[in-house]
């Protein structure tokens, strides 16, 4: 059996698959007080009858930079990669590290794998990956567009362009949000960049900002508070002053909740238009994530008044875990790395 653990900034999801990739059971736990050990314990309670049959565990990891392959067995080198990029994904990489260590302890019979979200975008065109800053500084600090939500965007592309002959825009809209332009099965642009903060406004992250705003705020309130602001108190939560949960905001009737929704949809529509231009046309827009899949109203707002483009609107219930499980099953142990067990 293959157990997939999907560690978020405040949640821990799991899916357990048999050898035929049938989903045996699954769950989603909110992590209180960053106590991931307790959440792993809850998972063990639910799957205890299958423990001895679990031979493989996969962990979704958000940031592997340019160093990580899509699937890597958990070794000392793999853990170093996750740690190296933790400052660029502070909400996700450190919790993933913690859960991997807990899983090694709790499932000693299983081989552990890391599945890196950034790998899908490794071959973005150079003109897309390169930021217009001093080239030598960018090279020194590995400042390029990495892209995120790779498994989600890949799943949407595989589902709605299996023959790799379409021009599609995929939109992963959940707590984190990103859009990608995919041509003939290959991503050619994506909204998240060096970190998962760039791009669309999100539940608590700002998305695109004038960089001088960051510098100005750092001078006024300090770097630490500025970082907390753009990652934890911006986006839907920052504008509404109420909640970052889109499905909650849709039930609110006050001005700032409505404004948050309108800004979110307006900016998503701007990306849709930009990526249509980049693709040179558009066959389909595919939505996934709790918002993208879960709200017809949001889908309609983002795609309204665009009938002249004559594209299809599709939606896909997220199943990153299944893709990860299938990819892990094809892994060939040819690496010389010392596997941690």
d(CA 172, CA 170): 7
Confirm whether 307 is a catalytic residue. no
* DSSP percent split of the chain into helix, strand, coil, nearest 5: 45, 20, 35
d(CA 6, CA 14): 6
d(CA 204, CA 229): 9
d(CA 126, CA 78): 26
Catalytic residue among 18, 67, 69, 117: 117
Supply angle C-alpha 318, 8, 162, rounded to 5.
25
* Contact criterion met (CB below 8 Å) for 110 and 57: yes
Q: Which of 86, 94, 291 is nearest to 203 (CA)?
A: 291
d(CA 270, CA 66): 28
Q: Which residues are catalytic?
A: 117
């Amino acid at each position: 059996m293959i157990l997939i653990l999907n560690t978020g900034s405040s949640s821990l999801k799991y899916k357990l698959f048999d050898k035929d990739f049938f989903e045996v059971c699954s769950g989603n736990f909110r992590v209180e007080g960053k106590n991931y050990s307790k959440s792993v314990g809850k998972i063990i309670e639910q799957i205890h009858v299958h423990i001895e049959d679990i031979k493989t565990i996969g962990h979704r990891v958000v940031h592997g930079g340019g160093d990580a392959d899509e699937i890597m067995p958990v070794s000392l080198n793999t853990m170093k990669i996750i740690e190296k990029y933790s400052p660029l994904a502070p909400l996700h990489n450190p919790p993933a590290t913690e859960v991997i260590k807990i899983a090694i302890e709790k499932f000693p019979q299983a081989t552990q794998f890391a599945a890196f979200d950034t790998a899908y975008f490794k071959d973005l065109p150079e003109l897309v990956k390169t930021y217009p800053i001093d080239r030598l500084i960018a090279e020194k600090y590995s400042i390029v567009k990495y892209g995120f939500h790779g498994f989600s965007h890949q799943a949407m592309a595989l589902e709605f362009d299996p023959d790799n002959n379409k021009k599609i825009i995929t939109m992963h809209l959940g707590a984190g949000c990103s859009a990608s332009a995919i041509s003939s099965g290959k991503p050619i642009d994506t909204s998240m960049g060096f970190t998962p903060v760039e791009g669309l406004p999100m539940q608590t992250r700002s998305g695109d900002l004038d960089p001088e705003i960051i510098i100005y705020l750092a001078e006024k309130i300090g770097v630490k508070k500025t970082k907390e602001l753009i990652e934890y108190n911006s986006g839907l939560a920052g504008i509404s002053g109420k909640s970052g949960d889109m499905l909650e905001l849709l039930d609110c009737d006050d001005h700032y909740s409505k404004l948050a929704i309108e800004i979110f949809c307006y900016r998503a529509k701007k990306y849709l238009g930009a990526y249509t231009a980049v693709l040179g046309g558009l066959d389909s827009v595919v939505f996934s994530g709790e918002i993208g899949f879960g709200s017809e109203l949001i889908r309609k707002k983002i795609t309204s008044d665009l009938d002249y483009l004559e594209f299809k609107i599709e939606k896909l219930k997220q199943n990153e875990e299944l893709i990860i499980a299938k990819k892990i099953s094809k892994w060939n142990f040819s690496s010389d790395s010392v596997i941690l067990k």
